[in-house]
Amino acid sequence: MPPPATAARSPFLATRRKAPRARGLARREQLLDAAWSLLAERDLGAVSLVDVAARAGVPVGSAYHYYDDVREVYEALAARVAAQLLERHAAPLRRRPRRWAQVIEELIDRGVAYFNAHPAAARLLIGPQTPPQLKFRDRERDRVLAQVFEAQVDARFELPRLAARSALFFRALEIADLMLSLSIVDAGVITPAMTAEAKRACIAYLGSYFPATLPRRPRGVRAAANRGRNAE
């Protein structure tokens, strides 16, 4: 026999159901924050789930209740980093570009600033110990980030209508990522010289498809285009 309808709608019961879920989410975030702080100090291979639990002040058994191993923690952290990078790159440009290449340069600068400010993110996504599976998932997320690059350029300049244009931006972003990764391997940080190399390589690839000078979009058209993308 089903319980009375009034009991099913009881605010008290709803609160009881939500409380464990809220505690579980808080505990997951606590573990992720602990892993983040550890990766700021150590390479990926030097961190275990036991280390994460100890840093978080969480019983080891409880940590294993939320994550099977440290690789799952890394995957959750990678998703968090991807969301932060997406938000950072989608923000309005700081200055009005005269050429489409300047848009690319500013966006690459944003990524470099993020990775240099957060060594945990660099070790996680573009470091020498990044696991292959994590690299693969990051590549898939880069397809979304590449669309942000494309949208930032297209909102200000009239890009040629090419087949698979988004794929061009994705490949260009991967080329830039390679330069940044090499800098992490060689220097432990992204150096100004390798930042310049990333810009040069990315822009050169796109420049083999787009002319150096593209017509600018009128401000009103640009605002309307941005509103349309936000609505999507």
Contacts of 26 (CB under 8 A, 6+ apart): none
CA dist 229 → 28, 99, 148, 151, 211 (Å): 33, 22, 10, 8, 25
Q: What is the four-CA torsion angle of 114, 120, 126, 132, rounded to 10 degrees? A: -140
Q: What is the pLDDT of residue 229?
A: 44
DSSP 15-26: HHHHHHHHHHHH
Q: How far apart are CA 48 and CA 66, in angstroms?
A: 14
Other beta carbons within 10 angstroms of residue 188's beta carbon come to 12
Neighbour-count burial for 137-160, b at 16+ CB within 10 Å, e otherwise: bbeebbeebbbbbbbbbbbbbebe
- What burial class does residue 107 get, using C-beta atoms within 10 Å of its C-beta: 0-12 exposed, 13-18 middle, 19+ buried? buried
Residue-level pLDDT at 219: 76
176, 201 Cβ separation under 8 angstroms: yes
pLDDT in tens, the chain (232 residues): 444 444 444 443 343 344 557 788 899 999 999 999 999 999 999 999 999 999 999 999 999 999 999 999 999 999 999 999 999 999 999 999 999 999 999 999 999 999 999 999 999 999 999 999 999 999 999 999 999 999 999 999 999 999 999 999 999 999 999 999 999 999 999 999 999 999 999 999 999 999 999 999 997 655 444 433 433 3
Count H helices and E strands in the chain, helices first. Answer: 11, 0
pLDDT confidence of residue 3: 42
Total count of residues recorded for the chain:
232
